[in-house]
Amino acid sequence: MSWRPPGYRFTAKDLVKALCSDETEQSLLLMAAIHGKVELFADATAWNGFLWLVMSTFKVDGKPLYTGLELGALKTSLPIVWL
């Protein structure tokens, strides 16, 4: 289908690079997806990997920095088709 933008599949590693740095190819793809120039796809396992990393490392006084609701809102706001 020529009307669809090119698609890319993100792994958990790609998702981390896209969301945690603005100087990676993955972050550039994420920005391109925001502008509708590409389509991004990812398995639920990619999100689970990112979620594990965030919940395990981003802590204040031993408690996760982000709530489940905040992380859920982040997931729904991303221009990614979850498979």
**What secondary structure does DSSP assign to 30-46, as a single string?**
HHHHHTTSSEEEE-HHH
For position 3, what pLDDT does the model report?
A: 81
Contact between 15 and 50 under an 8 Å Cβ cutoff? The reply is: yes
DSSP E strand boundaries for the chain: 7-10, 39-42, 59-60, 63-64, 80-82
Q: What is the C-alpha to C-alpha distance for residues 20 and 4, in angstroms, rounded to an integer? A: 28
Residue 2 covered by a domain: no
Q: 48 lies in a domain? A: yes
Quote the domain boundaries for residue 29: 7-82
Query: Does a structural domain hold residue 40?
Result: yes
* 1 assigned to some structural domain: no
Count of domains observed in the chain: 1
* pLDDT > 80? residue 1: no
Neighbour tally for 35: CB within 10 Å: 9
Tens of pLDDT, residues 27-74: 999 999 999 999 999 999 999 999 999 999 999 999 999 999 999 999
Paired with 10 in beta bridges are 42
